[in-house]
Structure 1
């Protein structure tokens, strides 16, 4: 067995008081390379820096190690990536109109990535393979940025509304499924939650609630924003070229 068969990418499950930053050279190098690339292509560099800072906090902070011990911490990490970092990065990119079909594809890809990586077998895979860990975070971030960019640049407000409601529904369904499951589903946490005062089932239920409630609130806000877009557009005065 090699190292990745024994130790998750963020390290062994920490005990209370043992949390540490994840400063692996490979991760730092990827984050710096992404920062340099995004700096060149971003239309609004302030928004990009804000989004990249949130992403760095999710992956480099002690939350990364805590996510090895607790499923609920992993869910919180993913929500930070998908609902904070991704929208900021998407908003920083140069404007590009998104047709309803592209928005539907983005929402489908985002939902598929979310469900896939929170099913027991793929989830367990990320604990025994560094490649799977990278694939999980890259796909969640990439599809979320694609989705949020489509919503922000949607040609039609009703398409943004429908995609937001559909995404909120599937995220809520996954959260409810995890919350009401009668038994723990995630083997990597079978022995890691008790030091933190939670049984594996309680940890899973907390993770489901985090996905269900904050995720639902975020996408409800998105739906309201989509409904208000035509009103703001009509109220905004026309501006000629500078």
Structure 2
């Protein structure tokens, strides 16, 4: 039996390279949800151009991830799925967090760093991942849990003192690097839904998985490192400014 007959993920069966450009996702429920979210977000941020642009960028990224042909590409390549998840959690989530007021999140940065890490590892366990590509409901549970726990983490980071924010980001970087290393150095492919489709894209299933691990290990973890270094630089600048003021 072919892979496409077994695995029918939300974004559709895995496309061949020649088919990708035509594989837009015009699911009316998705488009309606994005439209409502865009309307509410733009209305909420109307008083602040800076907040509005952050929200617009986040919504444009969500459109790219779920409506453009990139959605279909994630059905074919696990490495594309990794880019999808990183874009959701390390780009869209912080943009949305930056478009919201700075407020403490119940549980604080320690809780949400742990919850988000557990969520990320859970959905990369083969049984959970295969369930998400077998059921639209489980697929959206995966996407929503990754985005919402990441959003809570980034909001907690914004509200935390610099030491807590930096620790949360570095802890997230480390656990993501460990997951990336596990995928990179595995001698066998883990994910049955990607057992055949990568071949049409010039990759073996193991090469696709290893590429996914490298993406998660280097640029993925690097996003959190960059955020931690940015907070550290701002902290040092504020400390220097405070000490240089005349008494």
The normalised TM-score by structure 2 is 0.88
Question: Aligned to 1:35, which of 35, 38, 49?
Answer: 38
The equivalent of 1:17 in structure 2 is: 18
User: Distance in 2 between the 1:190 and 1:40 partners?
Assistant: 45
User: Distance in 1 between the 2:198 and 2:153 partners?
Assistant: 33
CA deviation string 1:107-131 (max 9, x = no partner): 1111111111111011001111000
The equivalent of 1:51 in structure 2 is: 58
User: Distance in 2 between the 1:218 and 1:7 partners?
Assistant: 32
User: Distance in 1 between the 2:30 and 2:178 partners?
Assistant: 32
Alignment of 1:23-102 (within 5 A): 23-42=26-45, 44-97=51-104, 102=108
Structure 1 residues 235 and 52 mapped into 2: Cα distance closer, same or farther (>3 Å)? Answer: farther
Residue 110 (str. 1) matches residue 116 (str. 2): yes
User: Distance in 1 between the 2:231 and 2:194 partners?
Assistant: 39
Comparing 79-88 with 180-189, which one deviates more in the overlay? 79-88
User: Distance in 1 between the 2:7 and 2:121 partners?
Assistant: 25
Q: Secondary structure at the match of 2:197?
A: coil
Question: Aligned to 1:121, which of 120, 127, 141?
Answer: 127
Kindly tell me the number of residue pairs found equivalent between the two proteins.
Answer: 232
User: Distance in 2 between the 1:124 and 1:33 partners?
Assistant: 30
User: Distance in 2 between the 1:160 and 1:132 partners?
Assistant: 31
Comparing 31-40 with 135-144, which one deviates more in the overlay? 31-40
Structure 1 residues 105 and 41 mapped into 2: Cα distance closer, same or farther (>3 Å)? Answer: farther
Q: Shift of the alpha carbon at 1:98?
A: 5.4
The equivalent of 1:240 in structure 2 is: none
8 Å contact 1:115–1:174 — kept in the other structure? yes
* Structure 1 unaligned spans of 5+: 238-242
Q: Shift of the alpha carbon at 1:56?
A: 1.3
Q: Shift of the alpha carbon at 1:6?
A: 5.9
Q: Secondary structure at the match of 1:13?
A: coil
8 Å contact 1:172–1:213 — kept in the other structure? yes
Q: Shift of the alpha carbon at 1:79?
A: 1.1
User: Distance in 2 between the 1:38 and 1:104 partners?
Assistant: 28
> Could you say what the CA RMSD is over the residues aligned between the two structures, in angstroms?
1.9
The equivalent of 2:185 in structure 1 is: 180
User: Distance in 1 between the 2:40 and 2:139 partners?
Assistant: 22
The equivalent of 1:230 in structure 2 is: 235
The normalised TM-score by structure 1 is 0.90
8 Å contact 1:158–1:226 — kept in the other structure? no
* Structure 2 unaligned spans of 5+: 243-247
Q: Secondary structure at the match of 2:139?
A: helix
